[in-house]
Amino acid sequence: MYKFLGTYHVVPSLPENLEKLREVSYNLHWTWNQDARELFRRLHMELWEDTNHNPVMMLGKISQERLNEVSHDDGFLAHLERIHSKLQSYLTEKTWYQRNYNYPDDINIVYFSAEFGLTECLQTYSGGLGVLAGDHLKASSDLGIPLVGMGLLYKEGYFQQYLNSDGWQHERYEINDFDNLPMKLVRNDRNEPLVNSVNLSGRTVYFQVWKIEVGRVPLFLLDTNIPLNNETDRRITETLYGGNVETRIQQEIILGIGGIRTLHSLGIRPMVCHMNEGHSAFMALERTRYLIQNEGLTFKEAKEVGYYSNIFTTHTPVPAGIDVFSNELVEKYFGSYYRNELQISDKEFYSLGNIYKTSESNVFNMAHLAMNTAGYVNGVSKLHGEVSKKMWVSGYKNVPFNEIPIGYVTNGVHMRSHISHDMEDLFVQYMGQKWIENPASTILWERIDKIPDEELWRTHERRRERLVAFARRSLRKQIKNRGGSQEEFAAANEILDPSILTIGFARRFATYKRATLIFRDIERLADIVNNKEHPVQFIIAGKAHPKDEEGKRFIQEIFQIAKESRFRRKIVFLENYDMNVAHYMVEGCDIWLNNPRRPLEASGTSGMKVIANGGLNFSVLDGWWDEGFDPEVGWKIGNGEEYSDPDYQDEVESRLLYNTLESQIIPLFYSRGEDRLPRKWIARVKNSMKKLGPFFNTHRMVEEYFEKYYSKSYEKRVLLKERKWNLGKELTAWKDKVLQNWSSVRLINTDLNGAAIKHLFVGEELPIKAEIDLGNLTPEDVEVQIYYGPLEDNNPQNNSTVVMSAESRKSKNGFYKYNGSLKCDRSGQQGYTIRIVPKHSLLIHPFELDVVYWAG
């Protein structure tokens, strides 16, 4: 075999008046600017499609003759000038963040994620988690938030899916050509690739850094495939979620520890760090190490400082979905790190990977590491916040369920990245240009009513027609690739009908998502799709994890059903679900079907993407739909029940699914007047847009993250840093003092001001006195509360607290006297007790120290 003696880099040669094309291509603002995408189509339609919508590769493949031709095309040059001018205006205009905040330039919020779904040509994502991360960056850019993305760059990315003649999923891994993607290698002052390193089990592993411009937001991706590494280490970042458990821990060390080191090497001080899932949780250890090595803090002090500026978002509703590593494997990679760098004992280190403080564990849990090192923890929907509390309730002993410090920020989608250009043009025409700038505005969405029903419906119908055309092209390609017959190939031209009710189902084929639920009663389904007056058709897509045999069987079952003559024209399975397939489906489907097994869908975002495109949701009340559903905006499957018998649940909910289709959805779609418009259906579409559009978008979501978490984290970080971290040191010392003396805290006595109470009337107040022994603590260190509620009600959600006030001096016997009163706001038997918790102005919540005193 030959070996190249050297390498060189070739870049497209553009005529001088087309140089702006290069700048436009390398900023992913074009992924949510329809006019920019139209410019690339105009340049070369076939290459745009063949390169999977990759403008950088397109410029490298396009002929010099075509470039010279458009360099003399006044219309094209004017279009290019308009796009370039819009990009410059976008990058320099005043933003939401600048209008609302006046923080110094040192505020850097770093968003860590193992995957980012930005556009179809960048295979750095596998599914919803990655697309959400990409949308988070795009919305942050639109809002002007000083955010930086950090992730890994995979040579193979996620797998490409294809089915054999029996419908069994196979995986193909395509090599990404990084030099022909819209990203650039980061270089140092000597114009050499910037290289950093981490220690992996006694050896040094190096990685280079790539940068993607996402509007105003830079995204840095780390890549170990460089000559400095041996062949094994070069493959660490080869595949997203690939390899074995050892590959996974290596990737997460590169992401977390390598990510922090990369930021410092770029001169970026990470003031706030946001972990999108627990894959990057080692980041918190490296932030701690940095403060120990460079700021002279102890481990405890550094950990406390980091805790107040770390945010952890969990997407997992079940423990099985969380990365855990054996302690032996963690010791292999972190033994030297925690002993020499963090300078702590093994017991102290391994407790970081376990939220259950009273028991030791033989595994190191990455979600627990994130929760132990992040002061802000949240789920991704209101229901998921509750599910997360239930999942980790035993880690918060003595804390009432409703006060467990796990919040939620409901996910959203970046509207302009998922709306069709036809619908966006319609919105701008009737809602104004400001909709683009502020898709979270309820007032702007109310203008949907200005759009004539005819125009809205015709626009949606055009997208359905394009979806059908795309499905036919895709099916022909699938048949050709697997060596199908000429008859099959010809039949592909007749599948689907662009004028009938079209239902889409597309997502990961995890078993809990129940892709085959609609096929449970196959005869009933056949009657539904083949009804001559009111026909229905289904377009289905999705990938099963390469190791998920059950998920693959689901795909095979659907594939086989779709081949039957009675279903062949009405049910289609599209291979290789990605962002491009998703675009066509969410833009053209009338109904988006989602039927997970509640409560296993943490949020889900695919259904949010149909809202602005004129589609309606039909879903189980799980994830985002649990809070989004309203009878005026879509349909539900069930009433939020949870079952212990999954087979019984599938039977019940499949019947509900069929019933709702037959009795509500299909009749409404085909209810037409003389003008052939389904006006009641259109009214529901408009209601969906008006009620769901302003909330289920990433502008609202990212604003919420900033206001609830980012700004507070930054302000605490600044405070703790003052006077050479003195406040941080004082806070650590205060926590130590509280913990050392907490066992002395106790209630001596309490009374109702000496009154013998038989009964009270609603609206009256009940005064209560308490005498408290605080030992060596003072009233400034604690908060004494009256905790009260209904005696027979076991739901702490209905209980309340009142803060008691302390008399200024200790009593003669050395105790503190407290006074308070509770308001009798409901009738019935009520109870009260005294609760004491630590109190400090910097605490995020009173349960940080894991100590609570309950009287009685």
C-alpha torsion sign, points 284, 119, 587, 612 = positive
Q: Nearest to residue 240, comparing CAs of 407, 117, 104, 406?
A: 117
Q: Nearest to residue 304, comparing CAs of 396, 372, 365?
A: 372
pLDDT of residue 474: 94
Question: Under a CB-based contact definition with an 8 Å cutoff, are residues 276 and 113 in contact?
Answer: yes
Burial state string for 372-410 with b = 16 or more CB within 10 A and e = fewer than 16: bbbbbbbbbbbbbbbbbbebbeebbeebbeebbbbbbbb
Whole-angstrom Cα distance, residue 81 to residue 98? Answer: 27
Question: Under a CB-based contact definition with an 8 Å cutoff, are residues 141 and 151 in contact?
Answer: no
Whole-angstrom Cα distance, residue 615 to residue 503? Answer: 9
pLDDT, averaged across the chain: 94
Whole-angstrom Cα distance, residue 321 to residue 315? Answer: 9
All residues at 6 or more sequence positions from 202 whose CB lies less than 8 Å from its CB, including other chains = 336
Question: What pairs with residue 185 in β-bridges?
Answer: 210
DSSP codes, 581-608: HHHHHHHH-SEEEE---TT--S---HHH
Strand, helix or coil at 718?
helix
- Alpha carbons within 13 A on the beta-carbon side of 771: 11
pLDDT of residue 845: 95
Question: Under a CB-based contact definition with an 8 Å cutoff, are residues 447 and 430 in contact?
Answer: yes
Alpha helices in 227-356 (DSSP H): 231-234, 245-253, 259-265, 282-295, 299-307, 327-336, 346-351
Alpha helices in 393-520 (DSSP H): 415-418, 421-431, 434-437, 442-445, 453-481, 486-491
Q: Nearest to residue 48, comparing CAs of 144, 113, 120, 142?
A: 120
Q: Nearest to residue 668, comparing CAs of 679, 659, 657?
A: 679
pLDDT of residue 758: 62
All residues at 6 or more sequence positions from 809 whose CB lies less than 8 Å from its CB, including other chains = none
Question: Under a CB-based contact definition with an 8 Å cutoff, are residues 360 and 354 in contact?
Answer: yes
> What type of residue is 142?
D
Q: Nearest to residue 451, comparing CAs of 424, 431, 421?
A: 431
Distances (CA, A) of 744 to 740, 748, 776, 853: 9, 11, 8, 10
Q: Which two tokens stand for residue 328?
A: 């032996």
Whole-angstrom Cα distance, residue 695 to residue 442? Answer: 8
Distances (CA, A) of 848 to 262, 312, 395, 851: 30, 15, 12, 8
Q: Give me the long-range contacts of 600-603 (CB less than 8 A, separation at least 24).
A: 600/317, 600/318, 600/512, 601/317, 601/512, 601/513, 602/314, 602/315, 602/316, 602/317, 602/379, 602/380, 602/381, 602/384, 602/387, 603/315, 603/379, 603/380, 603/381, 603/384, 603/410, 603/411
Alpha helices in 310-407 (DSSP H): 327-336, 346-351, 366-373, 382-391
Interval 20-30: pLDDT, tens: 999 999 999 99
Q: Which two tokens stand for residue 66?
A: 């075509």
- Helix orientation angle between 698-705 and 128-143, rounded to the nearest 10 degrees: 80
All residues at 6 or more sequence positions from 368 whose CB lies less than 8 Å from its CB, including other chains = 352, 353, 354, 355, 395
Strand, helix or coil at 763?
coil
Q: Which two tokens stand for residue 91?
A: 């990058």
CA 521 centroid distance within chain: 34
Tell me which residue has tokens 């399975």.
573
Q: Provide the 10 A C-beta neighbour count for residue 824.
A: 16
Question: Which residue positions in the chain have pLDDT lower than 50?
Answer: 754-755
Interval 687-745: pLDDT, tens: 999 999 999 999 999 999 999 999 999 999 999 999 999 999 999 999 999 999 999 99
Interval 490-516: pLDDT, tens: 888 899 999 999 999 999 999 999 999
- The single-letter DSSP state of residue 706 is I
Q: Nearest to residue 290, comparing CAs of 311, 259, 313?
A: 259
Burial state string for 91-107 with b = 16 or more CB within 10 A and e = fewer than 16: eeeebbbeeebeeeeeb
Q: Which two tokens stand for residue 153?
A: 């760059």
Whether omega for the bond prior to residue 846 falls within 30 degrees of 0, making it cis, is: no
Q: Which two tokens stand for residue 88?
A: 């410059």
